[in-house]
Amino acid sequence: MKTEWSIEFYHNEAGREPAADFLDALPDSARAKVVRYIELLTTHGVLLKEPYTKQIRGKIREIRVADKIGAVRILYFGYVEGRFVLLNGFIKKTDKTPIREIDIAEKRMKDFLARNEVKK
Protein backbone atom coordinates (compact mmCIF):
# COMPACT_ATOMS: atom_id res chain seq x y z
CA MET A 1 0.00 0.00 0.00
CA LYS A 2 1.36 3.37 -1.05
CA THR A 3 1.80 5.77 1.86
CA GLU A 4 3.49 8.73 0.18
CA TRP A 5 2.35 10.46 -2.99
CA SER A 6 4.52 12.84 -4.96
CA ILE A 7 3.75 16.30 -6.28
CA GLU A 8 5.11 17.84 -9.44
CA PHE A 9 4.38 21.06 -11.24
CA TYR A 10 3.22 21.09 -14.83
CA HIS A 11 5.75 22.94 -16.98
CA ASN A 12 5.18 24.13 -20.52
CA GLU A 13 7.67 23.64 -23.34
CA ALA A 14 9.46 26.85 -22.31
CA GLY A 15 9.93 25.45 -18.80
CA ARG A 16 7.43 27.77 -17.07
CA GLU A 17 5.49 26.33 -14.13
CA PRO A 18 2.22 28.30 -13.89
CA ALA A 19 1.06 26.75 -10.59
CA ALA A 20 4.47 27.39 -8.99
CA ASP A 21 4.41 30.99 -10.27
CA PHE A 22 0.93 31.42 -8.76
CA LEU A 23 2.08 30.03 -5.41
CA ASP A 24 5.15 32.29 -5.40
CA ALA A 25 2.91 35.34 -5.93
CA LEU A 26 0.63 34.55 -2.95
CA PRO A 27 1.05 36.34 0.37
CA ASP A 28 3.02 34.27 2.90
CA SER A 29 -0.03 33.28 4.98
CA ALA A 30 -2.00 32.03 1.97
CA ARG A 31 1.03 30.22 0.53
CA ALA A 32 1.61 28.48 3.87
CA LYS A 33 -1.98 27.20 3.91
CA VAL A 34 -1.74 25.94 0.32
CA VAL A 35 1.57 24.18 1.06
CA ARG A 36 -0.04 22.52 4.10
CA TYR A 37 -2.90 21.22 1.94
CA ILE A 38 -0.42 19.97 -0.65
CA GLU A 39 1.35 18.12 2.18
CA LEU A 40 -1.99 16.55 3.14
CA LEU A 41 -2.40 15.45 -0.47
CA THR A 42 1.01 13.74 -0.40
CA THR A 43 0.02 11.91 2.78
CA HIS A 44 -3.57 10.92 1.96
CA GLY A 45 -3.48 10.84 -1.85
CA VAL A 46 -6.75 10.01 -3.57
CA LEU A 47 -8.43 9.54 -0.19
CA LEU A 48 -8.21 13.28 0.56
CA LYS A 49 -11.72 14.59 -0.07
CA GLU A 50 -13.81 17.66 0.76
CA PRO A 51 -13.29 20.13 2.28
CA TYR A 52 -9.63 19.86 1.19
CA THR A 53 -10.12 18.74 -2.41
CA LYS A 54 -13.01 18.43 -4.82
CA GLN A 55 -13.67 16.76 -8.17
CA ILE A 56 -14.12 19.42 -10.87
CA ARG A 57 -14.38 17.79 -14.29
CA GLY A 58 -13.08 14.47 -15.56
CA LYS A 59 -9.65 13.88 -13.99
CA ILE A 60 -9.34 17.51 -12.87
CA ARG A 61 -9.58 18.13 -9.13
CA GLU A 62 -8.97 21.22 -7.01
CA ILE A 63 -7.20 21.92 -3.75
CA ARG A 64 -9.53 24.25 -1.81
CA VAL A 65 -8.03 26.77 0.61
CA ALA A 66 -9.97 29.50 2.41
CA ASP A 67 -7.85 32.54 3.22
CA LYS A 68 -8.39 36.21 3.99
CA ILE A 69 -7.46 37.01 0.36
CA GLY A 70 -10.29 34.74 -0.83
CA ALA A 71 -10.87 31.18 -1.99
CA VAL A 72 -7.50 29.96 -3.26
CA ARG A 73 -7.71 27.08 -5.75
CA ILE A 74 -5.03 24.85 -7.27
CA LEU A 75 -6.19 22.59 -10.10
CA TYR A 76 -4.41 19.24 -10.48
CA PHE A 77 -4.79 15.65 -11.65
CA GLY A 78 -3.51 12.26 -10.60
CA TYR A 79 -0.89 10.67 -12.82
CA VAL A 80 0.83 7.27 -12.86
CA GLU A 81 2.84 5.84 -9.97
CA GLY A 82 1.20 7.94 -7.26
CA ARG A 83 2.01 11.34 -8.73
CA PHE A 84 -0.11 14.47 -8.70
CA VAL A 85 0.51 17.20 -11.27
CA LEU A 86 -0.37 20.78 -10.25
CA LEU A 87 -1.66 22.60 -13.32
CA ASN A 88 -2.75 26.11 -12.38
CA GLY A 89 -3.95 28.29 -9.54
CA PHE A 90 -6.30 31.21 -9.07
CA ILE A 91 -8.33 33.17 -6.54
CA LYS A 92 -11.96 32.16 -6.91
CA LYS A 93 -14.27 35.19 -7.10
CA THR A 94 -17.63 33.49 -7.78
CA ASP A 95 -19.59 30.52 -6.41
CA LYS A 96 -18.64 28.30 -9.34
CA THR A 97 -15.17 27.46 -10.55
CA PRO A 98 -14.67 29.53 -13.74
CA ILE A 99 -14.95 27.45 -16.92
CA ARG A 100 -11.92 29.33 -18.28
CA GLU A 101 -9.73 28.01 -15.43
CA ILE A 102 -11.01 24.45 -15.94
CA ASP A 103 -10.32 24.72 -19.68
CA ILE A 104 -6.77 25.94 -19.00
CA ALA A 105 -6.19 23.01 -16.63
CA GLU A 106 -7.51 20.50 -19.17
CA LYS A 107 -5.33 21.96 -21.92
CA ARG A 108 -2.26 21.73 -19.68
CA MET A 109 -3.14 18.18 -18.63
CA LYS A 110 -3.44 17.11 -22.28
CA ASP A 111 -0.10 18.79 -23.06
CA PHE A 112 1.53 17.07 -20.07
CA LEU A 113 0.15 13.67 -21.07
CA ALA A 114 1.24 14.11 -24.70
CA ARG A 115 4.80 15.01 -23.68
CA ASN A 116 5.01 12.34 -20.95
CA GLU A 117 3.33 9.45 -22.68
CA VAL A 118 4.51 6.15 -21.27
CA LYS A 119 6.39 4.33 -24.03
CA LYS A 120 5.59 0.64 -24.35
Q: What is the CATH number of the domain that holds 59?
A: 3.30.2310.20
Q: Is residue 87 part of a domain?
A: yes
Q: Is residue 10 part of a domain?
A: yes
pLDDT at 118: 62
Residue 19: band (very low, low, confident or very high) from pLDDT cuts 50, 70, 90? very high
Q: Is residue 50 part of a domain?
A: yes
pLDDT at 3: 63
Is the pTM higher than 0.85?
Answer: yes
For 16, 24, 67, 115, the CA distances from 10, given in Å and listed in that order, are 8, 15, 24, 11
Residue 84: band (very low, low, confident or very high) from pLDDT cuts 50, 70, 90? very high
Q: Is residue 120 part of a domain?
A: no
State how far Cα 66 lies from the chain centre: 15
Q: Is residue 1 part of a domain?
A: no
**How many structural domains comprise the chain?**
1
- Measure the CA–CA gap between 80 and 30, rounded to whole angstroms: 29
- Measure the CA–CA gap between 114 and 109, rounded to whole angstroms: 9
Please check the confidence at residue 120 and state whether its pLDDT lies above 90.
no
Q: For residues 22 and 89, is the Cβ–Cβ distance under 8 A?
A: yes
End-to-end Cα separation, the chain, in angstroms: 25
| Domain containing residue 84 | 6-115
